[in-house]
């Protein structure tokens, strides 16, 4: 049922999205001898038109590093970011294109990502959302789905992440976390009962800024599962994935 609802939601989005088209476009003046217009937003698409110095162009939209522009004759094409950055605004000042980048990585507040890995032999997929409280500390919520040979399960927890060197491009971190682990045996096996236990974890990891709002993450953690039996279970887990920051 959630699948159907998700599809319905997307369908609504698809139908409503074009209704929000904006009609107030930024106008810039070409300051270089000429700029090139490509047929599509990518280096592989050919140049089909050239706009001379002094001509005015409207910037209609942006897709990654490419901008769709319209000339005063109504010709539409795509201009690469570094060429558009050399145009002037109507007031005469250069057009400042704002890109998220390394500077924003240092000032990020929120991050969200996915990771894949291994939890005591079971495959894991995790969703991680984080809020950066200070330069060094981040609070994270994590939800993990586990699929093993003998049992499936999920984990949900909260973690405190300490980044000792936040100014590094590839920066290590330490983590402490706790949460609940739910394990249920596979349907094809003789059934034993489901278990839900608390766990605590400590680990190390690394974040690496890749490009724009995009980073790589990998980590290794040791978990202690507080079972209702006599012995606590010690589990090793590792995961790697990517995340976006805002």
Q: How far apart are CA 197 and CA 227, in angstroms?
A: 6
> Closest distance between other proteins and the C-beta of residue 52, in Å?
22
Of 136 and 149, CB closest to other proteins = 149
Handedness of CA 46, 49, 55, 56 (dihedral sign): negative
Nearer to other proteins, 109 or 186 (CB): 186
Give the interface with other proteins as residue ranges (CB under 8 A). Answer: 3, 6-7, 10-11, 13-14, 17-18, 20, 22, 24-26, 39-46, 59-68, 89, 91, 114, 116, 123, 125, 145, 147, 152, 186-188, 211-212, 214, 242, 244
Other beta carbons within 10 angstroms of residue 101's beta carbon come to 12
Nearest residue (CB) to other proteins, 147 versus 227: 147
Q: How far is the CB of 136 from other proteins (least distance, A)?
A: 27
208/169 Cα distance (integer angstroms): 6
Take residue 12 and report the two structure tokens written for it: 């609504």
- Chain-centroid distance of CA 130 in Å reads 12
> 160 near 137, Cβ under 8 Å?
yes
Closest separation between CB of residue 46 and other proteins, Å? 8
Kindly state the smallest distance separating residue 28's Cβ from other proteins, in Å.
9
């Amino acid at each position: 049922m959630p699948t159907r609802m998700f599809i319905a939601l997307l369908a609504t989005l698809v139908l409503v999205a074009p209704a929000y088209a904006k009609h107030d476009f930024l106008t810039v003046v070409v300051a270089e001898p000429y700029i090139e217009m490509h047929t599509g937003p990518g280096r592989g698409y050919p140049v089909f038109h050239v706009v001379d110095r002094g001509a005015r162009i409207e910037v209609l939209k942006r897709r990654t590093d490419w901008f769709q522009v319209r000339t005063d004759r109504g010709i539409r094409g795509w201009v690469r970011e570094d060429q558009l950055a050399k145009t002037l605004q109507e007031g005469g000042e250069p057009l400042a294109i704002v890109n998220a980048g390394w500077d924003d990585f240092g000032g990020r507040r929120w991050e969200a990502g996915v990771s894949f890995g291994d939890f005591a032999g079971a495959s894991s997929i995790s969703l991680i959302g984080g809020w950066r409280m200070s330069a060094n500390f981040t609070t994270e919520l994590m939800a993990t789905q586990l699929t093993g040979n003998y049992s499936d399960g999920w984990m949900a927890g909260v973690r405190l992440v300490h980044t000792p060197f936040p100014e590094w491009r590839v920066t290590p971190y330490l983590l402490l976390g706790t949460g609940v682990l739910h394990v249920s045996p596979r349907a094809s096996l003789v059934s034993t009962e489901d278990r839900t236990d608390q766990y605590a974890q400590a680990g190390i990891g690394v974040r690496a800024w890749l490009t724009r709002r995009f980073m790589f993450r990998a980590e290794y953690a040791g978990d202690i599962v507080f079972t209702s039996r006599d012995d606590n279970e010690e589990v090793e887990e590792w995961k790697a994935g990517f995340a976006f920051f805002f």
